[in-house]
Amino acid sequence: MPELIDNPILNGPYDPPARHFRFDDDGITNEIVDSRRDSGYFVPIPASRRRGAQLAIDQQTADREELNDFVNQVRGRVALWRDRGWPHVTPTTRWLLRYWVRPERDSPVFFCQREAVETAIYLAEAATAYGDTWIDGELRNHAADTNAGLYRVAHKMATGSGKTVVMAMLIAWQALNRFANPRDRRFTDTFLIVTPGITIRDRLRVLLPTSPDNYYRERDLLPAEQIVALGHARLAITNFHAFLLRETQAVAKLTKQVLSRGEPSPFTETPEQMVRRVCRDLGGRRNIVVLNDEAHHCYRPAPQLDPEPPAKATAEERREASRYAAEARVWASGLEAVDAKLGIRTVYDLSATPFFLRGSGYPEGRLFPWVVSDFSLIDAIESGIVKIPRVPVADDAGAGELPTYRNLWSRIRDDLPKKGRGTAAVSGEPKLPAELQGALHSLYGDYELSHRRWRDDAAASASGSPPPVFIVVCSNTNVSKLVFDYVAGWQRTLPDGSTVAVPGALGLFSNVVDGTWSSQPNTILVDSQQLESGEAMSADFKRLAALQIDELKAEMRERFPGRDVDE
């Protein structure tokens, strides 16, 4: 069993980590080691099909750790270069590095953010002078062998450690150097930023120098005059779904078949047309730098291996793996099309989990070999950068020898609705597995305490502070509809055909008040795939969320008379 640690923070957020907790074969310990933790990751162990054999499946233990030798070697070279004052860089780069570390800053840059950018700078400007051409050689080998010629450089950063700030710093470094040295091909003023969905795409508008809340000003990454200069750079922000080839003309299916005759459809974009559409804001400029956010979604399946999941995988697991592979292929092929038309100098990947997914043809959980810097979740926790994860303390639904909540999913997954066209629609009284009910009520008890503190906080109320949020992540839309009905309320059909609204089981989250549906629901149902794709809602999701969609339309009609609520 891993040991409990009262205070996991060992290091400051603005300096290189100097201490870490040691892992042993049972997990993390209270023993403190006076050095920085080596970069490594924990090799996934396939789960047993037997329900009682799940104890250590997800534990991080020393016997499952694999060191990232390449990352550790690069880290050592960058640290040596940093300690010597960043030699062999342009005057613009040196000025930026000094600006970002000056002690009088109101908004200091986290060390993990600075290290990621320093690593990119070292590879582009100083590595050759230090005799470290082997790093570039390694990355070019991966470009040729794995990435269809795309030169990719990945930075592994824990969720919440500030990847967006790193993107802003990379843009500032590249663009200001380009303006100062227009003939230097190492730099560009043209950037394509690719995200996994429209939510992140919209959030990354802070990277636009013209945005009122841009990070260059908000995070003091540049002084005002440099932000004005940065406005001459070209940036395009898109989600990878935009790389899908679209129809240029709506025609009947039979017409397409007759006119295509087995050839590419004349009514579908060519890759060149797609690039013109996606990169319209770049004005045809070449020598692009790409910033991939959540880049673990972007890779080419291994050519020498079967990209399909193993036969022993469940049907749902096989569908999920195929979807991951298809999405990764769209993202990767889209960048290849951009490279063919406009030329991509470097792709900077940023992700908390830059690992190959199931269905990639590579071993599931294998680290992208072009990762050059690493600041993991445990590093971020020990540096006080991210919030400390919590798990339910109560375990009232225990069965057998193992605590139920530690391996909840393996115990309940076979009793939950499956995904797919052949599965039954979720309707009627929501009946959850007893273990899942227990976990929800246990976490809800903690939420009630937090909600009470928020409600009784006069200062928070005066400032308009929002209430705490409770999020349940489900495996598919059928499961999410079942949990939603249990938590928020459902509609019972009576023998005479009439209906009655039944309150949800968790009072603060119920959307039913005094027997009627609330006009301002406390709980909402979100399908992340539907939301992030930017496309129209699927028929399946419309069926599952029909009541909620009707309520939204009614509210829209009331608030915006005359507006077409179906737009």
* Domain boundaries defined on the chain: 67-247+270-301+320-382, 405-559
Which is nearest to 395 in space by CA: 447, 469, 445?
445
- Structure token pair of residue 149: 């010629």
- Asked whether the beta carbons of 117 and 269 are under 8 A apart, the reply is no
Residues forming a β-bridge with 492: 500
Architecture of domain 67-247+270-301+320-382: 3-Layer(aba) Sandwich (3.40)
β pairing state of 27-33 and 512-513: unpaired
H/E stretch holding 448 reads: helix 434-456
Q: What tens-digit pLDDT sequence spans the chain (567 residues)?
A: 556 777 889 999 999 999 999 988 777 888 999 999 999 887 765 544 333 333 333 445 555 678 999 999 999 999 999 999 999 999 999 999 999 999 888 889 999 999 999 999 999 999 999 999 999 999 999 999 999 999 999 999 999 999 999 999 999 999 999 999 999 999 999 999 999 877 777 888 999 999 999 999 999 999 999 999 999 999 999 999 999 998 776 655 555 555 556 566 666 889 999 999 999 999 889 999 999 998 888 888 887 554 445 556 677 777 777 888 888 899 999 999 999 999 999 999 999 999 988 778 888 888 999 999 999 999 999 999 987 766 555 555 444 444 566 677 777 878 888 765 445 555 688 989 888 888 899 889 989 998 999 999 888 878 888 888 999 888 788 888 899 999 999 989 888 888 899 999 999 999 998 888 887 888 988 776 655 555 545 555 555 556 666 666 666 566 666 666 555
Residues 364, 44 contacting (CB under 8 angstroms): yes
Tokens coding 485: 């009905």
Q: Which DSSP string do the residues of 230-284 spell out, in sequence order?
A: HTTSEEEEEEGGGGSPPBSS---HHHHHHHHTTSPPTTB--HHHHHHHHTGGGTT
Q: Are 97 and 118 in contact (CB under 8 A)?
A: yes
**Residue type at 58 in one-letter notation:** D
Contact 102, 141 (CB under 8 A): no
CA distances from 316 to 297, 395, 418 (A): 19, 29, 7
Rounded to whole angstroms, the Cα distance separating 496 from 473 reads 36
Residue 139 CB neighbours (<10 A) = 21
Q: pTM for the full model?
A: 0.78
Angle at CA 223, nearest 5°, toward 222 and 229? 80
Question: Is the C-alpha dihedral spanning 164, 169, 172, 173 positive or negative?
Answer: negative
pLDDT attached to residue 140: 96
Task: Indicate the pairing of strand 516-517 with strand 512-513.
Answer: antiparallel
* The pLDDT value given to residue 57: 35
CA–CA distance, 123 with 313 (Å, rounded to integer): 41
Distance CA 45, CA 56 (A): 9
What pLDDT is attached to residue 446? 87
